[in-house]
Amino acid sequence: MIVIDLKSGTETKLNTEQTLSCAVGNFDGVHIGHQRLLTEAKNLSGASSSAAWTFKLHPRICMGDSNAKRLNSVDQKLEQFALAGLDYAVLEDFMSVHSYSPEDFVKKLLYKDLNVRHGVCGYNFRFGLGASGTETDFKEYFEQLGATATIVQPVILDNETVVSSSLIRQFIENGNIKEANRFLGHPFSIKLPVTEGRKLGRKIGIPTINQVFPEYYAIPRHGVYVCTCKVEGKVHLGVSNVGIRPTIDPSTTIVNCETHIIDFTGWLYGKIVDVQFHDFLREETRFSSIEELVGQIHKDIATARTYSSLIS
């Protein structure tokens, strides 16, 4: 998959004969509803290549919304686009285009500048200045140009629940990781650099890696989770504690993900590790002693080993 990054200027020009069937949206989490849009884009509908167009940074974050929480990083989003089999991903700068009218958004930005000849959007898509354009406008503007567009209807699970990024965020914040993953269609994960901690884990015989959640990231309910960790091309089971580690440092307020990677030895400081969450085990607890904490961690590790099917 080729990435066209309009914000950084690392732009790959499409040749004049090349046309796109392009899914358009924020794609936060790239959940199973979003994946329907990507599948529709791959159908091409007369275009020569498939693509997804999205903002490099979510509009709510660009507008300074302190309550905005994202489900994945740009790199994770691009990984999902590539897994879907798209030919191109187009990253746009929100502040560069937020003042476009809905008509210019379709006719100039998509049709003229990017050679989009088949547009794909969701049933609740809003776009253009003040989010004044609707999914119906999107379709009509393409048709006025002799092109085509598809409005993808919502994905509904359990006969009544519409799949949405906001609902998935609620699942994650409540610790309902299994439901979050079911609605995502893939595990919720963090893919972050390993930072140096207090190295207490090594001293007590349970080494861990530390990863600090970045600003605007959806943070799971504080507690202990079964996870899998992708390290140097191999997948390991792990146990992650999300929270502030009250037994170790009662004064801190920095939310950290501390993970013991089962059956792994090695130094990972500064490296990027993909930690995928699979199940919630228990709430974060302040223990009366380090010894009590160690005993509980060993129980958590034993429980995590029963999830061996995750790596088989």
- The verdict on 123 and 203 lying in the same domain is no
In the predicted model, what is the mean pLDDT of the chain?
A: 89
- The verdict on 40 and 149 lying in the same domain is yes
260 in any annotated domain: yes
Residue 222: CATH number of its domain? 2.40.30.30
Cα–Cα nearest to 310, from 248, 225, 245, 213 = 225
175 in any annotated domain: no
β-pairing verdict for 189-193 and 272-283: antiparallel
- The verdict on 61 and 110 lying in the same domain is yes
Inform me whether the pLDDT recorded for 250 exceeds 70: no
By residue range, what is the domain housing residue 295? 189-310
- The verdict on 110 and 202 lying in the same domain is no
Burial of 206 (0-12, 13-18, 19+ CB in 10 A): middle
| CB half-sphere exposure, 144, CA atoms < 13 A | 12
- The verdict on 153 and 6 lying in the same domain is yes
Output DSSP code: residue 76.
H
**Among 115, 137, 157, where does a domain finish?**
157
- The verdict on 128 and 216 lying in the same domain is no
pLDDT of 58: 84
- The verdict on 143 and 199 lying in the same domain is no
Q: 65: which residues sit within 8 A by CB, 6+ positions away?
A: none
- When divided into structural domains, the chain yields a total of 2
- pLDDT tier at 197 (50, 70, 90 boundaries)? low
169 in any annotated domain: no
- The verdict on 15 and 152 lying in the same domain is yes
- The verdict on 15 and 145 lying in the same domain is yes
- The residue type found at 163 is V
- The verdict on 78 and 153 lying in the same domain is yes
Average pLDDT value for residue range 65-81: 90
Burial of 153 (0-12, 13-18, 19+ CB in 10 A): exposed
Q: What is the pLDDT of residues 74-128, one digit of tens each?
A: 999 999 999 999 999 999 988 888 899 999 999 999 999 899 999 999 999 999 9
Q: What is the pLDDT of residues 113-130, one digit of tens each?
A: 899 999 999 999 999 998
- The verdict on 10 and 148 lying in the same domain is yes
CA–CA distance, 111 with 113 (Å, rounded to integer)? 6
Residue 96: CATH number of its domain? 3.40.50.620
| Helical (H) or strand (E) element with 237 | strand 234-243
**Among 116, 139, 157, where does a domain finish?**
157
- pLDDT tier at 252 (50, 70, 90 boundaries)? low
